[in-house]
Structure formats: structure tokens, C-alpha cells
A = this chain, B = another copy of it.
Amino acid sequence: MAPTQPQQVKTPQNGLVQTCEIGSLTLESLEIIPQVTLAFETWGELNEHRDNAVLILHALTGDTHVSRANITEDSHTTSPAQAAGWWEGIVGPGCVIDTEKYFVLAPNILGGCYGSTGPSSPTPESIDSSRKPWGSRFPLVTIRDTVHAEAHLADALGIETFYAVVGGSLGGARAMEWALTYPHRVEHCVVIASGPSATADQIAWAQSQNLAISLDPNFAGGDYYDGLPPEGGLGLARRIAHTTYRSAPELHFRFGRVAQRGERPLQKCQAGERGRYAVESYLDYHAKKLADRFDANSYLAINNALISHDITRGRGSLTTALAASTCEWNIAYVDSDRLFYPSESIVMAASLPQPGEATAILSPSGHDGFLIETDQIERVLRRTF
């Protein structure tokens, strides 16, 4: 499973997307992806002892852009590097994950659509001389496969050991798997709003989302790159997912039963559609936003990776599996999370080699609290950084 042509990346550039060819990858299914590229961003610099690297792993539809570029105010531009990242304020100069102290690495997950090899990538010539996108032919990747790929990236960057591996939600699943697959390479593992294995409930929600995409007539079995993308299906998948990401009380207090401005939910308009409630308009907005930026096949691939997640697979009980870890664990959950229930984190923390307690992040917002409650996340991270 060693990369065929590891490629040393020399000059980390803060908050700009770089790529690394990590060679071929043999998957858990024993299928082989002949040429794998991982996209990533970095902030800060690897120090002489190479002991200041931090790996940040994004969630389901996340990307490499955790934080703005670490540049001075004078050089502000409108480049992508200047867009706010998904954990802005958590990672940066002077932040809790201080990029003046740590070398932060954030890869796009294998199967993704932000530069890493995924279903929308051209196939290698050895598989298809026309080099059409993988589409339906993209193999099933597991969380372990994604972690193996990231280990090759770390090799290429000259990182033997990470001071910390950090992730929330799917990123937390990736972080856990890192700590158990490569215990000697992980000193601290920070897991927020995740659990030791995908639950039956999470599998059920993922199934609905996957079926929403495949129901879209544009999906064409996954080979839609010559035509229109299945935006309706991807948007529906997002609506389902987004509802699981928020709490019922939050939706109640934000939207209640209010009609969307200018619309009448108890009347059909001439086209036969009724007016929308405000919460429907909110979900329409998030559906469109994702459909405009994400590839539906990547959504399927990463969703399937998410539900493959099980740190106990082939490793015995949860306690036995975790006994192989040597890192310091830092586990937190969002109290109102109804996708990754608090009990999952609590059981996980209690099953560690040194049993502990998971930290509660108090939030009305449900699962998305791991992105929203910056102050509390910072306090959680201060236990490690």
C-alpha cells in the first residue's frame, strides 16, 4: 500500500490549495485506485524537530479551507485564500490552533470534489483511455481508506508524527481512525460531535440522502458529467441532512410556522404549488447553496465512507479497539445533537484506556454546534493546544 511515487512538497503556502500525488492505493475492498491525488492546504511551518504538525479533517461536505490565508493586512486580495474558512477563528495566528506555532495540514478527503481524487476526477489512462470522469466506476472507499491515503500525504510532507489530529462530525470519525490505524503517529486526538461507529440511525439518514440523489432523472446512474448534474436530488439530500444537523427547538424559535415573505402556505398559486413556510425557504437556500458547489457523486462516496465508519471493525470490542491507542484523547459532543447523539461520545470517552468524560458543548443548534459554538470549541481545544 506504499505510494508508488511519493512526491515531496517543498513550500507550504498558507491557505492556498496544493496537491500531492500519492501513487496507487489499495482499498479495504481490495480494489485499487491506480493514481491518487490529495488536495490540501497548510498554514504555518513544519519546525526543525517536525513535531508541530496538526492534521485537521473536514466534515461531509467540507473542504481544505479551514481558515483564511495567514498573510498581513496589506496584502489583502480577493483570492480564494481570503475567503473565510469553515473554522475561522479557531485556526490562525494567535488562535487556539496557533499557526505561528503549529504547522496545520487540512487535506480534502479521498472521494471528495475539492481537488482530491474522486468520482468527478478523470480516470487514469490505464482504466479508460478516454479519461472520462470515474462516475459510477469510482470504487467504494471507507474511512480507513481515506486515512491510509492521508498517511501517504503525511509521508510526502515529511511528517512522521502529528502533535494532534482534529476533526468534527465525519472529520472526528477520520481522526479516531487515524489514532487507531497509526497509533505511533498521533500524539493527541480531538474528536468533536462524532462517535466510534456510524449508527443504524445515521445509516438510515444516509440511505435517504443517497436515494434522493439516485432518484434524480439527471443522475444517469452516476454518469452525468456529459449532461446536467442531479441538482434536485443533491438539494433534497442536503435538506434531509441539514434537518438532522439542526435541533427541533432551534428551528422552532428561528422559523416557527411563519410563512415565507410574500407567500401563502395555505393557498395554491396558479402553477399548482402552495406558498412556502419560512423554514422551507431556509432549506431551499441551503439545498441550492450545496448543489452549486458540490458534486453529487462525491456526496454519495463520502456518505458511504461515513457509514463505513467503525473503529471496532476487526479490532474486537470498543474497549479492546481503543486499548491500541497511545494518544491523549479529547472528546466533545454537542448537547442538542440529534445526529451524533451525546451518548456516542460519552460511551467512547468511558471506553478509553484511561476512561474519561466527554466535554459537553452547550448549543441550541444541534449537530452544527460544532461549527457554530466557536468559544466553546476553543475551550475544548485548549485542553490539547
Instruction: Give chain A's interface residues, CB within 8 Å of chain B.
Output: 28-29, 31, 136-137, 139-140, 142, 197-201, 203-205, 207-208, 211-212, 215-217, 221-222, 232-233, 236, 239-240, 243, 248, 251-252, 254-257, 265-268, 272, 274, 277-280, 283, 304, 307-308, 310, 338, 341
Q: Which residue of B lies closest to A230 (CB)?
A: B215
Tell me, in angstroms, the Cα distance from A136 to B268 when the chains sit together.
11
Among A139, A140, A222, chain B packs the most CB atoms within 10 A around the CB of A140
28 contacts between A and B (CB under 8 A): A29-B267, A29-B268, A137-B272, A140-B266, A140-B268, A198-B257, A199-B251, A199-B257, A200-B252, A200-B254, A200-B256, A200-B278, A201-B248, A203-B280, A205-B243, A207-B280, A207-B283, A208-B208, A211-B232, A211-B236, A212-B212, A215-B216, A215-B232, A215-B233, A222-B272, A248-B338, A248-B341, A277-B307
Interface of A is mostly: helix
Give chain B residues whose Cβ lies under 8 Å from the Cβ of A341: 248
Which residue of the partner chain, among B207, B217, B274, contacts A217 with CB atoms under 8 Å?
Answer: B217
Which residue of the partner chain, among B31, B215, B254, B283, contacts A212 with CB atoms under 8 Å?
Answer: B215
Contact check, A280 vs B204: say whether CB atoms are below 8 A apart.
Answer: yes
Known contacts A272-B221, A274-B304; decide if A203 and B279 are in contact (CB<8 Å).
yes
Contact check, B243 vs A208: say whether CB atoms are below 8 A apart.
Answer: yes
Give chain B residues whose Cβ lies under 8 Å from the Cβ of A211: 232, 236, 239
Tell me, in angstroms, the Cα distance from A28 to B274 when the chains sit together.
13
